[in-house]
C-alpha cells in the first residue's frame, strides 16, 4: 500500500476525530460555564465543583473511557453502549473541568463591577450572569480555549481503546497490517493532528484580539 492510499484511509477518520472533539468542546462549554460561575458566585456549593474538577482532571482519560464504556455498558446499554456517546461524554466532562478553570480566570477579568452594574438595573444574579457576564467571558478566554481545543483533538486519540475508527485507530491498524512499517502511518497521523489543531486555535486567538479591541481592553 503506498503512502497516498494510507493517507486516504487516515483522512477518512478525520470526520470522526473532528466530531468527537467538537461535541466534547461544546459539552465542555455548556457544563464548564455554570461550574465556573458556581465556583465564583455560589460559594456554599463550590466544594461540589471542586470535587468534580479534581476527579475529572486527576483521572487519566483512558481510565475514564474504559470505565464508562466497559464498566457501565452492561448496566446501561443505553446510552453507554454507544462508543461515540461515551467518547463525547468522557472527553466533554473532562474538558468542562478544564474550561471551568479557564472561565474562572475570565470572570475575574470581566470584573465584579459588571455584575454589580447588572444587578443595579434589576437583574437577578443568574440573569446578570447570562446577559452581562457570559457574553464578555469569551473575550477573556480565547487563548485558553484555543489550547483546550488543541488538547481535545489530541485526546480524542485515546478513544481507540473503545474501538472508534478515528485517525489514531486507523494509524494503528495500518501499522499492524503493514509489512512492519510503523513509521509512515503514525507520521501521517501526526501531520493530520497538527493540521486539525492549529488553524482553529489561531483563528480563535485572532477573533479574541479583535473583540478585545472593540470593547477596549
Partner 1 sequence: MADFVMEARNVYKTYSIKKIKKGDAACNVPVKHQVEAVKNVSLQIRKGDIKLIFGPSGSGKSTFLRCMAMLDIPDKGEIYLGDECLTAPGADLNKARARIGFVFQHIYLFRHLTALGNVELALRQVLKLPKEEARKRALDALNEVKVSDCINKYPAQMSGGQAQRVGIARAIARNPDIILLDEPTSALDPELTGEVIDTLRDLAKEGTTMLIVSHEMPFAREVAEEMIFYDEGKVVETGPPSLFFNAPNTDRAKQFMTRIINRTTRE
Task: List interacting residues with partner 1 (CB under 8 A).
Answer: 113-114, 116-124, 127, 131-132, 135-136, 139, 214-217
Q: Measured from the CB of residue 85, what is the shortest distance to partner 1 in angstroms?
A: 35
Distance CA 201, CA 60 (A): 24
Nearer to partner 1, 121 or 163 (CB): 121
Nearer to partner 1, 127 or 206 (CB): 127
Q: Measured from the CB of residue 111, what is the shortest distance to partner 1 in angstroms?
A: 9
Nearer to partner 1, 116 or 195 (CB): 116
Nearer to partner 1, 52 or 207 (CB): 207
Q: Measured from the CB of residue 10, what is the shortest distance to partner 1 in angstroms?
A: 42
Q: Closest Cα to residue 167, out of 2, 7, 14?
A: 14
Q: Measured from the CB of residue 119, what is the shortest distance to partner 1 in angstroms?
A: 6
Q: Measured from the CB of residue 212, what is the shortest distance to partner 1 in angstroms?
A: 10
Nearer to partner 1, 122 or 163 (CB): 122
Amino acid at each position: 500500500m503506498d503512502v497516498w492510499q494510507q493517507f486516504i484511509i487516515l483522512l477518512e477518520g478525520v470526520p470522526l476525530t473532528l466530531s468527537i472533539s467538537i461535541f466534547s468542546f461544546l459539552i465542555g462549554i455548556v457544563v464548564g460555564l455554570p461550574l465556573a460561575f458556581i465556583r465564583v458566585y455560589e460559594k456554599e456549593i463550590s466544594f461540589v465543583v471542586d470535587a468534580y474538577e479534581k476527579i475529572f482532571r486527576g483521572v487519566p482519560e483512558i481510565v475514564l473511557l474504559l470505565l464508562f464504556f466497559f464498566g457501565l455498558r452492561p448496566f446501561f446499554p443505553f446510552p453507554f453502549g454507544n462508543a461515540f456517546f461515551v467518547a463525547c461524554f468522557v472527553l466533554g466532562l473532562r474538558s468542562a473541568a478544564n474550561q471551568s478553570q479557564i472561565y474562572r480566570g475570565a470572570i475575574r477579568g470581566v470584573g465584579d463591577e459588571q455584575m454589580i452594574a447588572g444587578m443595579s438595573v434589576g437583574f437577578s444574579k443568574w440573569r446578570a450572569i447570562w446577559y452581562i457576564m457570559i457574553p464578555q467571558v469569551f473575550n477573556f478566554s480565547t487563548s485558553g480555549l484555543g489550547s483546550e481545543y488543541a488538547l481535545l483533538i489530541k485526546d480524542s486519540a485515546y478513544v481507540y481503546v473503545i474501538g472508534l475508527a478515528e485517525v489514531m485507530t486507523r494509524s494503528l491498524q495500518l501499522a499492524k497490517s503493514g509489512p512492519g512499517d510503523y513509521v509512515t502511518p503514525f507520521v501521517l497521523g501526526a501531520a493530520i493532528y497538527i493540521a486539525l489543531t492549529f488553524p482553529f486555535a489561531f483563528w480563535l486567538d485572532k477573533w479574541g484580539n479583535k473583540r478585545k479591541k472593540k470593547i477596549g481592553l
